[in-house]
């Protein structure tokens, strides 16, 4: 019987199978995971105060928006942003031409009223003499007495109007109501302003407040602290010293945009600058026997907070769920899941996997070149 030969159509399949087997045999083994260097810290039992921090800025207790009491064209402004001014100092000026014309018109009306009053008084005297001589009736005398009363009322009205116009002319100068610092400029020379339009914003000298926003769930706690001296502390930006403060005011309604409440803490006469950034610290109840870790040590695993523990014997990591109790300054307070003496990874937690080999990170030493020998 003749030997069987593979058909021509099956030859490519056999060839592909042979190539695949060769490639499979020559595929390199996967590279082992790298040994990562990690920063670590040893867990220890500590106490935590659950201090809450809020960002604040310094504002003046009293801040006024200054504007002219009359309308007109502003011709000059002598105060600029950041200038310190004194009480009574002229800050800006309106064109006084129209105001002076009004003042002159009021004075002319006053002189006319004085002349009318003098004439009515003279007529009354003559008619009294005529009445005594029996030439006129009592009705005519009463008519002259009424005319004198009307002239006297017109004189009083003219005097008041002249006084008002005199005041209006004086309002052409914008005067500082108190000593302070100009914190905003809202109008420039050449602008035609209506009465009351803000021109400058003046922060009065005196007490300063730390102003900050708090969420809705913290409002009740701040209302309880209101009026208590030293109930909160503030730390200026870039400083370590803490300044005592007292909660002076808590907003009655939330801001419609941020849904937070404005709180003002009295800083008294503390040496702070307007607009300076502060951190307001509100101490809470202290807890003993808890662990504190940096925020970088935690990550989320299936909806729970967890950390990586390092087994120093095998230098591998394992996942450990923890219970977070809150925050104390810049640290996270761990209420459960850790024991004193355990080693926790504090940096690089998102690139690790269970059982992965690690090594402790060592700060590289800086080599200082030796001084060259003198020749």
What pLDDT, on the 0 to 100 scale, is given for residue 113? 92
CA separation, residue 89 to residues 79, 95, 180, 188, 194 (Å): 10, 18, 11, 18, 22
What pLDDT, on the 0 to 100 scale, is given for residue 1? 44
CA separation, residue 249 to residues 165, 202, 256, 294 (Å): 42, 21, 19, 34
> What is the rounded distance in angstroms from the CA atom of residue 250 to the CA atom of residue 221?
11
CA separation, residue 37 to residues 294, 300, 309 (Å): 18, 21, 14
Residue 162 contacts residue 107 (beta carbons within 8 Å): yes
The three-class DSSP label of residue 189 is coil
Q: Where are the domains of the chain?
A: 37-49+287-360, 96-171, 205-282
Residue 204 contacts residue 64 (beta carbons within 8 Å): yes
User: 96-171 — its CATH code?
Assistant: 1.10.287
Residue 40 contacts residue 310 (beta carbons within 8 Å): yes
Residue 257 contacts residue 189 (beta carbons within 8 Å): no
Rg of the chain over Cα atoms, rounded to whole angstroms, equals 44
Instruction: Please identify which residue in the block is written with the tokens 């056999």.
Output: 14
The topology under which CATH files domain 37-49+287-360 is 2.40.420
Q: What angle do CA 334, 339, 344 make, to 5 degrees?
A: 70
- Lookup: tokens for 117: 């009053």
Rounded to two decimals, what is the model's pTM? 0.60
85 has which bridge partners? 180
The three-class DSSP label of residue 272 is coil
Series of mean pLDDT values for 10-residue runs along the chain (375 residues) = 49 57 55 78 80 88 92 93 93 91 90 92 88 82 89 92 88 93 93 94 91 91 86 85 89 92 88 87 77 87 89 90 80 86 88 87 61 55
């Amino acid at each position: 019987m003749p030997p069987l030969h593979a058909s021509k159509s099956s030859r490519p399949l056999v060839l592909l199978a042979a190539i695949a087997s060769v490639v499979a045999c020559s595929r390199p083994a996967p590279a082992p995971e790298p040994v990562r260097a990690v920063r670590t810290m040893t867990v220890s039992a500590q106490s935590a105060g659950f201090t809450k921090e809020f960002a604040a800025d310094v504002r003046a207790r009293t801040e006024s928006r200054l504007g002219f009491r009359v309308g007109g064209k502003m011709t000059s402004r002598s105060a600029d942003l950041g200038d310190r001014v004194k009480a009574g100092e002229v800050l800006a000026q309106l064109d006084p031409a129209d105001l002076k014309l009004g003042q002159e018109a009021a004075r002319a009306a006053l002189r006319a009223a004085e002349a009318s009053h003098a004439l009515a008084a003279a007529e009354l005297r003559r008619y009294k003499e005529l009445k005594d001589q029996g030439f006129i009736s009592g009705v005519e005398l009463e008519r002259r007495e009424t005319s004198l009363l009307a002239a006297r009322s017109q004189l009083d009205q003219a005097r008041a109007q002249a006084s008002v116009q005199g005041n209006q002319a004086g309002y052409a100068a914008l005067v500082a109501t108190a000593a302070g610092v100009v914190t905003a400029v809202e109008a420039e020379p050449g602008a035609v302003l209506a009465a009351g339009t803000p021109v400058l914003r003046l922060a009065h000298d005196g007490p300063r407040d730390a102003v900050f926003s708090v969420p809705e769930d913290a409002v009740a706690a701040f209302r309880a602290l209101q009026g208590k001296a030293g109930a909160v502390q503030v730390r200026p930006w870039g400083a370590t010293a803490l300044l005592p403060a007292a909660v002076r005011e808590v907003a009655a309604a939330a801001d419609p945009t941020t849904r937070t409440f404005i709180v003002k803490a009295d800083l008294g006469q503390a040496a702070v600058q307007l607009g300076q950034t502060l951190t307001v610290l509100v101490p809470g109840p202290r807890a003993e026997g808890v662990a504190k870790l940096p925020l970088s040590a935690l990550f989320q695993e299936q909806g729970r907070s967890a950390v990586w523990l390092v087994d120093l014997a095998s230098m591998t990591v394992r996942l450990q769920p923890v219970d977070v109790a809150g925050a104390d300054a810049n640290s996270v307070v761990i209420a459960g899941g850790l024991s004193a003496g355990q080693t926790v990874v504090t940096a690089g937690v998102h690139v690790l996997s269970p059982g992965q080999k690690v090594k402790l990170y060592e700060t590289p030493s800086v080599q200082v070149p030796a001084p060259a020998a003198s020749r």
